[in-house]
Structure 1
């Protein structure tokens, strides 16, 4: 159709045609789709999403739990409370080991094998945080690329932020959410063996220690306490020319275990070899875990262990709450700085400073 301007200037080579209006519902659908992606879900929506196995809802809820923002605290606690009755049905497995033991590679291969057995696997990979910058690498999804794209697996890297034991401050709560989302097995990869790394033992059912042969004196570098708590020791990287070394190393650990106290569950820890690269003996690892779980469920140690872990959580929460109150209180911080200067100048002892801070702490608490 010609416009009035076209009619008035028929000699012009230019003609302006009337446009066609797009149906309004098309644009609105695009807008609605965009808004649905950007809309922040409510607490109840996150809870329902987790119950339905929605990974996006699960990830968002975990972010709230890990947040240090006080505004997120109440929302996170509501989510945990709602998910708690649906938790506790998974097998919780801790995987630790010396640096270079191939923990991430092992978890990817082992986790993939479990998904092929029709299990849903959640991996909580504790990522080391810098003590200086407090930043973390968060590269576990890169190291576990195959498992990260597996529809039956969920990987959540969490910064340890210097937490005692290398275990993320909110790992236990994250585990509750993963179980509520329907994951059958939860694998917790720790930063690596250290003096206080044993904290992971207080939140899992089975504690797996991964080692490698040819890393120097096999026994000298290991903490006795770590070996004592291990339910199984597997020498990883038993492939190629390293097989014989791995077998020899396994034999050394078998002999060493005879010198340790009996396992509290009446279990004899297994020592064997495996290869995360070739998949050799990964089925043996799973078989070992299943045998252990069957035993401790029969002799009631499984339930007793979990009850002890819950009791430990009360203590952990108490310490956390007291720390938060202390370091968020301006009067306590000012007094701490004053007393620290006196200690550094050797005018009072560290013990005297601690007692003074304790008295001020009690005084402030009693006024609340």
Structure 2
């Protein structure tokens, strides 16, 4: 019989223990459920999850790195989802296992990437050899990039040998995706005139190929002209990859025209860069760049603790009201006693 006068003792709930060994082993066997679990751990913002995530990546590192990583960007309306679907079908038919990822730091504002609507990629979404994972719904570009890099490694360890990384954000996201992939593709449309005027030179200098999509029906001739216009521009730009001359091509993802040619182009690129040593050189540089980015992220996280965040808001208010100069505010923020 329970004693009503006896004090009840509540034990403090401890943080969940994560069996990294089990997750890692399951991922290497291709278990999609555990792959999703591992990626969720990587995406977690909980401080106590970071050591677990680091350990998981470290354990899987020897099993990673054996894929072809393709970065994809494109102007609005270029048909990225349709193109990925068509290209994915070709790759699957050749025996490849595909992971489709997104880098979209702006999705919480823009409504998300194409991956939010899997009905546009119905074949890939239901294929057993395809894994689709959108980026986190919000966050800084650096944070999303970190998660995407580590997600790539987990997917490779799970046996996915073709990784498609699609950027739907704007600005620096193209450079971030370029920095984590082997081949970078720009998907464009017909009607080059105004589009070429507005195309950033920086993006053009990142690409290994440009593909003008929707080159069918009445758009075919215009697409060919657009291809010629792009090739003229590419002739005067420094190639993104040493020893490779980027060129523009046409295709119709809707009618599966030109997709095989793009596949052959990418295979040629991979073989050429591996033979020249550029492939391994780029991968090594990307690993070091990744480390540098992680240092920046960690410094930012460490510096802006809760106390600093409160002080930052106070100083911002004073600067806004001209009570304090920006330089004085920064000095106060970096004061060891702050």
What TM-score bracket applies, with the shorter chain setting the length? 0.7 to 0.9
Counterpart position of 1:3 = none
1:304 counterpart = 2:281? yes
Between 1 and 2, higher relative CO (CA 8 Å, sep ≥ 6) is seen in: 2
The 1:257/1:130 distance shift into structure 2, 3 A limit, reads closer
Q: How far apart are residue 221 of structure 1 and its match?
A: 1.6
Counterpart position of 1:72 = 49
1:120 counterpart = 2:97? yes
1:93 counterpart = 2:70? yes
- Cα shift readout 1:153-209 (whole Å, capped 9, x = no counterpart): 111111262533895440000000000011111000111553553111110000001
Structure 2: distance between partners of 1:94 and 1:277: 20
Counterpart position of 2:237 = 260
Between the two proteins, the alignment pairs up a number of residues equal to 321
Structure 1: distance between partners of 2:107 and 2:75: 19
User: Do the aligned residues in 1 keep the contact of 2:142 with 2:297 (CA within 8 Å)?
Assistant: no
- TM-score normalised to the size of structure 1? 0.81
User: Do the aligned residues in 2 keep the contact of 1:253 with 1:271 (CA within 8 Å)?
Assistant: yes
- Cα shift readout 1:281-330 (whole Å, capped 9, x = no counterpart): 11111111111111111111111111111111111111111222233x23
Of stretches 296-305 and 347-356 in structure 1, the one that deviates more from structure 2 is 347-356
- Cα shift readout 1:49-96 (whole Å, capped 9, x = no counterpart): 101011111011111111112232222222111110111110110001
Cα RMSD after superposing both structures: 2.3
Counterpart position of 1:356 = 332
Q: 2:215 aligns with which of 222, 227, 238?
A: 238
The 1:214/1:131 distance shift into structure 2, 3 A limit, reads same
Give ranges in structure 2 of 5+ residues lacking alignment. Answer: 1-16
1:46 counterpart = 2:23? yes
User: Do the aligned residues in 2 keep the contact of 1:166 with 1:197 (CA within 8 Å)?
Assistant: no
1:207 counterpart = 2:207? no
Give ranges in structure 1 of 5+ residues lacking alignment. Answer: 1-39
1:60 counterpart = 2:49? no
- TM-score normalised to the size of structure 2? 0.88
User: Which has the higher Rg, Structure 1 or Structure 2?
Assistant: 1
Q: 1:345 aligns with which of 317, 321, 330?
A: 321
